[in-house]
Amino acid sequence: MFTRSLDAGAMAEPSPIQTNPAELLISGSYAVDLSAPLTEFGGGQSCFAVVDRMPSVRSGVKRDLMAVQVGPMAPPRPLAFTALAGAKFDYDMQPVAHGRAASAGGGYAWFVVCPQPPGPAVWPDAAQSIVPWSETDLLVHLIRPAALLLDQLDNVGVTHRAIRPNNVFRSRAGHPVSFGGGWSAPPAFLQPAAFEPPYSAMCHRAGRGGGSIADDVYALGVLMLALASGRMPMEGLDDETVIRRKLDRGSFSALTEGLRVSAAIADLARVMLAEDPDHRPLPSLLADPMAARARRVAARPAPRASRKLDVGSQSVWEARGLAAALASEPEAAVRLLRSQAVAAWLRRILNDHTAATAIEDAVRSRDAETSIDAVRADGLLLMTAVATLDPLAPLCWRGVALFPDGVGPMLAAEAANAAMMGRLEAMIAVEAIATWVDLHPNASNAAVMRLDARQMRMTLRIAGWSGGMARLRYSLNSHQPCLSPMLAGQCVVRLNDLLMAMENMVTASAENIVDREIAGFISARYQGRMDDDFTILARTEDPAIDPPGEHGMAQLRVVTRLGELQVTRAWPRLAAHILRAAKPGLRQWQSRATRQSREAALVAAAEAGQLPGMLMVLQDAQGLALDSEAAAASQAEISGIDRALRLLAEQGDARAIVSRNTGQEIAAAFGVIAMAASVMFAVRG
Amino acid sequence: MASKPVAPRNPGAANISTWLQGVACGVLFIVATPTAVLGVLLLMPTLLSFVADREQGRAVTRAVVLFGFAGSCAPFVSLWHTAHGMEDVWLLITDIRTLAIAWSAQALGWLLAQILPFFIGLIGEAKIRMEIARLQKRRDALAEEWSSAD
């Protein structure tokens, strides 16, 4: 549809023909018009009109463009961009470009540019109810276009995960809908709990993962119910209640409670809202709604216990409810599991011997576990118990629920939450994902997930600022802006933008221009290695131990290497800041004259903003070797002088004796001369 | 200059030497009494210096005796050109110039033996001080160049 493909690589460079030099264009042609917000088109995200500065280049686009602003801690889905860009698609809101531009807050933000929807959302945000859609309208103008889109997405391996009433649009009644993008935030990030299957709804909203196309079918089913009835299903209920009701009664029963829909729509919704994603119709089947409707869900109702089990504040009657309760009440759950109360309830009350035996085995393994600390062992036990009781459940780790591919967005969304970061770190450290995958042998990409779990743990184990959670955050989220406080509002996503942002934001009061977040960002994005420098920077500088100016030198090396990636070569503010920190590094030269000459050269390079020049002045191994040799020679000379002075002082008496003897010998010589002269005169008369 | 009393290295040899010198002096007095008397009178300061000089090698006495011989040479030659009698000795020593020259020469020898070491010491010390100053200056320059303080 569009001649221009996605090109994130060219976005940050200003276009040579742009009208406003200060304007940062996305992909060199799209300007975000912050004065024209499009509040009804963003699907819950900020959205602005876009002005195309190069309209002649773009052809075939019939609608105006808009830019959806990406949240600073909710990275977009670059894999989806790539998949969509490379596919021939009949999708009228396919993203055109994405990149960095000025935001309304005064700084910068990441934007996804796509065509504006053909009309308003099918369910405006403020609406309590709408006029119900007819059955024909639903089947022809909602289900069929949705089936077509989801089938195309499924073919390129992408899920939409943003099918909700405020993200589906149409120009007017009687026209097919258009689906807004789900690419400018993590999968299902903005989905209400009612529009997600219970196993996804119970996840942290950033950790829901890509899921499967069946999850989009589920959301489409809920949307269909809402439009068919004119009322929002499960409206006014909090997420926890929504999830519990869906687990207790089944999704279809819970969602249709109090709604009036036709039998045909109800039948179709029943299969689309099947608890097991494998039981939901494929998008290709949905293209023929009558055939999909005829499909019967063969799932049996879950066995219900005759007596409840209390888990913390919750009472449960069946296995999936028990799994959800264990996941949400981790402390009480571990106590119950380790006391074998859960296994006893499963065996005696629910009569599920298989699950009871599995839980007993897990508890025994936990009791025998000595290689990891008790808290992590309890976490593994809880995760195993939940996965055993509900194979559809996400990975539940000490009160956090997420799918393995949601770890990256979780690390971004909860970066400021130290407690959550601690739990995620423990989960990664014990490779809980690999254990979870082992409990799901039919998982489609088990080997990849195991490898990912191992790589995440290895990254976490890297010492210093090169590893840890910060690096993992950026490794797993290629479009996550750097979260360093120093770069607040700069939206640095690409490594090439980092140095310019640092140049703009560096302040005189900043102690270090490279902090843990920046180090993690660079480690994740930079192809070379800066581990040694980040190890130095991770240490608190101790003047008694560390060489002078070591931190400053490390910072200088880091920014110089980053500068090699840039066209611009002068960084005066950075250079001025680093000059202060790196100047003590001159003390590594022992010669005062060398220090003074190099200081002059360093200051000159700093004033010119030449980082490589500064590094050349400070980091000169050959010069240092010569200086050391000269210092050693000088020290030897000083020692020789000291010896000579000491000798001269000690030889005072000896010199006095020599002087006296010499004087006396001279006197004697005079005497001999006088005597000879006297004899000669006497003999001659 | 303070002279150091020196103990004879070989007391036996010193006694023999002294004995031989005494014998020689005795023989001289017996064989050539006028010459011996004139020598004793003219070289009286040398004898005093010999007694007073306790330094090893008696360097001062050596200078004194050399200058003494230089100052006494003419009277001895005059004595030997006469009849070599005691009257001639008397005539010579009553000439005040004879004693004055001989004793002045010995005094000059003593004086040179005293002041020449002093002056030579002064010159040597001056050279050493200059050398020390040069070394110290070089050392200060090196220390300043290679000190860690800016």
Q: Does B139 touch chain A (CB under 8 A)?
A: yes
In this prediction, residue A327 carries a pLDDT of 94
Which of the given ranges, A368-377, A453-462, B1-10, has the highest pLDDT on average?
A453-462
Q: Does pLDDT of A190 surpass 70?
A: yes
Q: Does pLDDT of A17 surpass 70?
A: no
Q: Token pair of A140, please?
A: 């022809």
Give percent above pLDDT 70 in chain A.
94
For residues A244-251, give the mean pLDDT: 91
Q: Which residues of A touch B148 (CB under 8 A)?
A: 587, 590
Q: Does pLDDT of A35 surpass 50?
A: yes
- Phi and psi at A31, nearest 5°, equal -105, 130
Same domain membership, residue A149 and residue A205: yes
CB A641 within 8 A of CB A649: no
Whole-angstrom Cα distance, residue A630 to residue A627? 5
Which residues, numbered 549 to 608 in chain A, qualify as contacts with chain B under a Cβ-Cβ cut-off of 8 Å?
Answer: 587, 590-593, 595
pLDDT tens over chain B, length 150 residues: 444 555 555 667 778 888 898 899 899 888 889 999 999 999 999 999 989 988 888 889 999 999 999 999 889 988 888 888 888 899 888 989 999 999 999 999 999 999 999 999 999 999 999 999 999 999 999 999 998 766
CB B10 within 8 A of CB B39: no
Q: Does pLDDT of A1 surpass 60?
A: no
Triad A422, A428, A429: Cα angle to 5°: 85
For residues A601-605, give the mean pLDDT: 95
* Helix, strand, coil % in chain A, rounded to nearest 5: 55, 10, 40
Which of A590, A672, A683 has its CB closest to that of B146?
A590
Q: Which residues of B touch A674 (CB under 8 A)?
A: 66-67, 70-71, 105
* Helix, strand, coil % in chain B, rounded to nearest 5: 80, 0, 20
Query: Nearest Cα to A514, choosing from A534, A529, A494, A497?
Result: A534
Whole-angstrom Cα distance, residue A296 to residue A279? 9
Answer whether residue A505 is part of any domain: yes
Answer whether residue B143 is part of any domain: no
Same domain membership, residue A562 and residue A660: no
- Shortest Cα–Cα distance, A659 to chain B (Å): 5
A407 or A509, which is more confident: A407
Answer whether residue A245 is part of any domain: yes
Query: Nearest Cα to B36, choosing from B70, B97, B80, B82?
Result: B80
For residues A142-158, give the mean pLDDT: 92
Answer whether residue B150 is part of any domain: no
As a residue count, chain A comes to 685
**Please, which pLDDT band fits residue A57 given cuts at 50, 70 and 90?**
low
Domain that holds residue B34: 11-112
Which of B76, B138, B146 has its CB closest to that of A591?
B146
User: At A316, is the secondary structure helix, strand, or coil?
Assistant: strand
Residues A100-126: tens digit of each pLDDT: 999 887 889 999 999 999 999 999 877
Domain boundary among the residues A115, A146, A162 is at A115
- Amino acid identity for residue A564 in this structure: E
Q: Does pLDDT of A47 surpass 70?
A: yes
For residues A229-256, give the mean pLDDT: 93
**Please, which pLDDT band fits residue A292 given cuts at 50, 70 and 90?**
confident
Which residues, numbered 1 to 40 in chain B, qualify as contacts with chain A under a Cβ-Cβ cut-off of 8 Å?
Answer: 1
Q: Which residues of A touch B125 (CB under 8 A)?
A: 655
| B interface test, pick of A659, A666, A680 with most B CB neighbours within 10 Å | A659
Answer whether residue A580 is part of any domain: yes
Same domain membership, residue A330 and residue A250: no
Using alpha carbons, list the distances in angstroms from residue A55 to A10, A30, A59, A225.
17, 9, 8, 41
In this prediction, residue A300 carries a pLDDT of 67
Residue A316: beta bridge partners?
A309
Same domain membership, residue A396 and residue A497: no
- Virtual CA dihedral for A3, A8, A11, A13, nearest 10 degrees? -120
CB A578 within 8 A of CB A614: yes
CB contact under 8 A, A663 and B117: yes
CB A584 within 8 A of CB A568: no
CB contact under 8 A, B65 and A672: no
Whole-angstrom Cα distance, residue A405 to residue A395? 11
Whole-angstrom Cα distance, residue A530 to residue A552? 14
Residue A134 neighbours by CB distance under 10 Å: 15
The CATH number of residue A282's host domain is 1.10.510.10
Which of B66, B74, B76 has its CB closest to that of A671?
B66
Q: What is the DSSP letter of A608?
A: T
Answer whether residue A300 is part of any domain: no
**Residues ≥6 apart with Cβ < 8 Å to A684:** none
For residues A637-651, give the mean pLDDT: 94
Whole-angstrom Cα distance, residue B6 to residue B53? 9
- Phi and psi at A548, nearest 5°, equal -60, 140
Packing angle of the helix pair A652-684, A621-650 (nearest 10 deg): 50
For residues A626-644, give the mean pLDDT: 95
Whole-angstrom Cα distance, residue A332 to residue A345? 15
On the CB side of A498, how many CA atoms lie within 13 Å of its CA? 30
CB A292 within 8 A of CB A220: no
Instruction: Report the domain count for chain A.
Output: 5
Chain B residue at shortest CA distance from A676: B70
| A interface test, pick of B64, B66, B127 with most A CB neighbours within 10 Å | B66
Which of A644, A645, A667 has its CB closest to that of B109?
A667
In this prediction, residue B2 carries a pLDDT of 44
In this prediction, residue A58 carries a pLDDT of 59
Same domain membership, residue A346 and residue A210: no
Using alpha carbons, list the distances in angstroms from residue A336 to A355, A409, A439, B6, B106.
15, 32, 21, 109, 126
Q: Does pLDDT of A3 surpass 70?
A: no
**Residues ≥6 apart with Cβ < 8 Å to B81:** none
In this prediction, residue A9 carries a pLDDT of 38
Answer whether residue B140 is part of any domain: no
Residues A309-322: tens digit of each pLDDT: 999 888 999 999 99
Answer whether residue B147 is part of any domain: no
Answer whether residue A552 is part of any domain: yes
Q: Does pLDDT of A420 surpass 60?
A: yes
Burial of A524 (0-12, 13-18, 19+ CB in 10 A): buried
CA dihedral over A118, A122, A128, A129, signed as positive or negative:
positive
Q: Does B61 touch chain A (CB under 8 A)?
A: no
Q: Which residues of B touch A682 (CB under 8 A)?
A: 73-74, 76-77
Residue A368 neighbours by CB distance under 10 Å: 9
CB contact under 8 A, A677 and B142: no
Q: Which residues of A touch B145 (CB under 8 A)?
A: 591-593, 634
Q: Which residues of B touch A664 (CB under 8 A)?
A: 59-60, 62-63, 113, 116-117
CB A50 within 8 A of CB A32: yes
Same domain membership, residue A106 and residue A252: no
**Please, which pLDDT band fits residue A61 given cuts at 50, 70 and 90?**
low
Whole-angstrom Cα distance, residue B105 to residue B111? 10
Q: Does pLDDT of A476 surpass 70?
A: yes
- Shortest Cα–Cα distance, B127 to chain A (Å): 11
Answer whether residue B5 is part of any domain: no
Same domain membership, residue A482 and residue A612: yes
Answer whether residue B3 is part of any domain: no
Chain B residue at shortest CA distance from A656: B121
Answer whether residue B59 is part of any domain: yes
As a residue count, chain B comes to 150
Residue A244 neighbours by CB distance under 10 Å: 21
Chain B residue at shortest CA distance from A548: B148
Q: Does pLDDT of A7 surpass 50?
A: no
Query: Nearest Cα to B75, choosing from B103, B46, B109, B108?
Result: B103
Q: Token pair of B104, please?
A: 């002045």
For residues A240-245, give the mean pLDDT: 93
Q: Does pLDDT of A339 surpass 60?
A: yes
CB A35 within 8 A of CB A18: no
Range A636-644 contact pairs with CB under 8 angstroms and sequence separation of 24 or more: A637/B138, A637/B142, A638/B139, A638/B142, A638/B143, A641/B135, A641/B136, A641/B138, A641/B139, A641/B142, A642/B139, A644/B135
Chain A residue at shortest CA distance from B60: A664
User: At A129, is the secondary structure helix, strand, or coil?
Assistant: strand
Q: Does A672 touch chain B (CB under 8 A)?
A: yes
| B interface test, pick of A641, A645, A661 with most B CB neighbours within 10 Å | A641
In this prediction, residue A507 carries a pLDDT of 75
Domain boundary among the residues A461, A493, A518 is at A461
- Amino acid identity for residue B71 in this structure: G
Same domain membership, residue A486 and residue A377: no
Same domain membership, residue A280 and residue A160: yes
CA dihedral over A551, A555, A556, A561, signed as positive or negative:
positive
In this prediction, residue A6 carries a pLDDT of 39
In this prediction, residue A580 carries a pLDDT of 86
The CATH number of residue A84's host domain is 3.30.200
Which of B70, B145, B148 has its CB closest to that of A674?
B70
In this prediction, residue B150 carries a pLDDT of 64
Burial of A9 (0-12, 13-18, 19+ CB in 10 A): exposed
In this prediction, residue A59 carries a pLDDT of 55
Kindly report the average pLDDT of chain A as a whole number.
Answer: 88
Q: Does pLDDT of A21 surpass 70?
A: no
Domain that holds residue A96: 30-115
For residues A509-537, give the mean pLDDT: 87
For residues A503-520, give the mean pLDDT: 84
Same domain membership, residue A398 and residue A277: no
In this prediction, residue B11 carries a pLDDT of 65
Using alpha carbons, list the distances in angstroms from residue A315 to A56, A248, A253, A309, A381.
65, 11, 20, 6, 21
Instruction: Report the domain count for chain B.
Output: 1
Q: Which residues of B touch A643 (CB under 8 A)?
A: none
Which residues, numbered 609 to 638 in chain A, qualify as contacts with chain B under a Cβ-Cβ cut-off of 8 Å?
Answer: 631, 634-635, 637-638
**Residues ≥6 apart with Cβ < 8 Å to A470:** A516, A517, A519, A520, A521
For residues A377-395, give the mean pLDDT: 94
Q: Which residues of A touch B77 (CB under 8 A)?
A: 682-683
Q: Does B46 touch chain A (CB under 8 A)?
A: no
Chain B residue at shortest CA distance from A595: B150
Answer whether residue A11 is part of any domain: no
Answer whether residue B127 is part of any domain: no
CA dihedral over A52, A56, A59, A64, signed as positive or negative:
positive
Answer whether residue A315 is part of any domain: yes
Whole-angstrom Cα distance, residue A499 to residue A568? 10
For residues A2-30, give the mean pLDDT: 52
Whole-angstrom Cα distance, residue A283 to residue A151? 5
- Amino acid identity for residue A120 in this structure: P
Whole-angstrom Cα distance, residue A355 to residue A353? 6
Residues A526-581: tens digit of each pLDDT: 877 888 899 888 888 777 777 878 888 999 999 999 988 877 778 999 999 889 88
Q: Which residues of B touch A657 (CB under 8 A)?
A: none
**Please, which pLDDT band fits residue A463 given cuts at 50, 70 and 90?**
confident
On the CB side of A195, how many CA atoms lie within 13 Å of its CA? 23
CA dihedral over A639, A645, A650, A654, signed as positive or negative:
positive
Whole-angstrom Cα distance, residue A239 to residue A58? 44
Answer whether residue A467 is part of any domain: no
Same domain membership, residue A451 and residue A324: yes
